[in-house]
Chains A and B, each alone.
Chain A
Amino acid sequence: MTEPLLSVENLRTWFHTGDAVAKAVDGVSFSIGSGETLGIVGESGCGKSVTALSILRLVQQPGRIESGSRIMFEGKDLVTLDDAAMRDIRGNRISMIFQEPMSALNPVFTVGDQVAEVARIHGHGSRRDAWNRAVEMLSLTGIPAPEERAKEYPHQLSGGMRQRVLIAMALIMNPALVIADEPTTALDVTIQAQILELLVDLQKRFGTSILMITHDLGVIAETASRVVVMYCGEVVEEAEVDTLFAAAHHPYTEGLMHAMPQLSEPRARLNVIPGSVPAPTDWPSGCRFRDRCPYSWERCEREHPPLYEISPTHTSRCHLAVEPEHRANPHPPLVEQLGVSV
């Protein structure tokens, strides 16, 4: 791969509240190539959404992208770009699809107007041109009878249709990168599959790169080629999608895989990772996963693990990379020993 389209380097987005500092994103690096789909997975509170918002510089006060962070996109550092130039990038070169199709559309305007507005913000075409483009875009997203649908209000459309409208809004300017933040979480399972298929289709057609943010490994398996696993504001593992599913290295990723319901094995109870994500104002010292990890040993408490290279395309933030023998004797995680309810 040549020069990546987007490369995030040591991104730190901290929230300064009173005397505490919530380090929601704490030194994240990854890159996306042209036309590639990169998945970011992790449970709630791991910093994946803040990462997405940071790329578009939409983090609200008291959140701040700390100095030393770099977000290189098409030769520009988005962290230091001025506001006007940033607005020019949003929706035009990088756009975002939101999670809730119910609330991400303005209730008082027709959906056609809302799609056309994006074209009008960035283009200089006439109102009619923008409208025609919007209708064309709506038809590309598989909305039947787009001319009529464009004149309807959001509440007149179903959830799946609304998500298609949001996709049309995100893609109308043919951006280089689309950030999809849990794009299917709010939808029925059958609709989810259709929407993912549509995204992949449109990606092929336009050559768009997608940053797919989700907690759903199924979505990752269907869309992404590479995956970044985040935990406690850090990247804990990065690998090709097949590698990750076949040979996850980090115990957290392993836990995520285990937590997926398996159709092949009938089981009454779902596997879970014990405990929950620690508070971002107070990440544990050493390895941030050690309290919940079945393999943790003394080194995990003493030393914050770096990202070890497992193979040229696979990294993992776990000391098991250099001391694999500890994987042999799992023990109940610390949080269970302490009797913390799960």
Chain B
Amino acid sequence: MKADITPAVGKLRVFRRLMSRRSAVAAMLVLALVVIPCAAAPLFARYDPSAQPDIIALRSQPPSFAHPFGTDPFSRDVLSRVLYGGRVSLAVALIATLVSITFGTAYGAVAGFAGGAVESEMMRLLDALLSIPRLLLLIAVFAAWRQLPLPAFVLIVGFTGWYGLSRVVRGQVLALKGQDFVASARALGAGRARILMNHILPNVLTPVIVAAALGVGHVILLEAGLSYLGVGVQQPQPSWGNIIQDGSDQIARLWWISFFPGVAIVVTVMAFNILGDELREALEPRQTGAG
């Protein structure tokens, strides 16, 4: 099935509307300031994140010109660790969100479009999955599998994060299925696959895009929490969560170790949340349109 019509959520129009909103621009700027240095960590970090240059002379240094975020008890540069850790945290969040968005949209769309027995079976399964507490499940999985490879971690987070979206998508598909333009497409000879791919899915893009932006922020928090608990990204690989954990036992004395990754998390998650809300605003007007 090829999508042979240009999907036209009016990309340009949405972008322009987004750029005309101050908090959206601010959120995007903040994200650029965080994401670019993290993504290109080897270019921005002055030190190897796991190098311990002088464990006696350079241990536990407060922020200084040479080490803007200070150093930890192993003499590692916290700024470099935050940058490399951000690379891991953001990558985990983006890929896991991509997995859950894709799967959630597909699941919800199929359930809503199929209807009947297929739909009710799929929704029962979803109810069952929803009743499993996600955090406990993740802790159990990670506790049972100590040396979890990072890709597996990402997939598990991704495959436990799609339930809510698939319900939203199913609801939208259900509503769209009854729309006149769907009936019209069918009356003009469009088959089921074409109707789903070309007529229904482009119309559920709005909640999906918004869910994606909000989802990234959510997964960053989740990863930080899990890594803080020691069941997420494993040392020596840094992530925002496990750097905070590094500093947590001496937080009063060596506050900078936990403080800077904490700020990074707060700022990034907030920016993603604002961006999500702004995207919703920017995408919605087309629904009402001009009479």
Contact surface of A with B, Cβ cutoff 8 Å: 56, 58, 87-92, 95-96, 98-100, 103-110, 113-114, 116-118, 120-122, 127, 153-156, 166, 169-170
Contact = CB atoms under 8 A, between A and B. Distances in A.
Contact of B188 (A110, A127, A170): A170
A65 B160 CA distance: 44
B43 interface: no
Contacts of B289: 107, 153-155
Given A103-B179, A106-B181, A153 B187 contact: no
Given A98-B183, A113-B5, A113-B6, A155 B188 contact: no
B190 interface: yes
A246 B191 CA distance: 45
- Which of A108, A110, A170 gathers the greatest number of chain B CB atoms within 10 Å? A108
B198 interface: yes
A87 B191 contact: yes
Nearest to B286: A107
B4 interface: yes
- Which of B179, B185, B198, B287 gathers the greatest number of chain A CB atoms within 10 Å? B185
Contact of A96 (B7, B187, B205): B187
A106 B188 contact: no
A105 B4 contact: no
B167 interface: no
B286 to A, nearest CB: 7
B189 A87 contact: yes
Contacts of A107: 181, 203, 286-287, 289
Interface string B160-199: 0000000000000000000111011111111100100011
B85 to A, nearest CB: 40
Given A107-B287, A127-B4, A155-B290, A90 B188 contact: yes
A105 B185 CA distance: 9
8 contacts: A87-B189, A90-B189, A91-B188, A96-B188, A98-B184, A107-B286, A108-B286, A110-B8
Given A88-B189, A98-B187, A103-B180, 7 more contacts: A91-B189, A96-B184, A98-B183, A104-B180, A113-B6, A113-B8, A121-B194
B6 to A, nearest CB: 7
Nearest to B289: A155
B288 to A, nearest CB: 8
Contact of A58 (B4, B6, B183): B183
A238 B280 CA distance: 54
Interface string B60-104: 000000000000000000000000000000000000000000000
A92 B189 contact: yes
A87 B9 CA distance: 28
B185 A106 contact: yes
Contact of A156 (B4, B5, B185, B290): B290
Contacts of B194: 121
A96 B187 CA distance: 6
Contacts of A104: 180-181, 183-184
Nearest to B115: A61
B202 interface: yes
Given A56-B187, A121-B189, A155-B286, A109 B5 contact: yes
Given A107-B286, A108-B7, A169 B181 contact: no
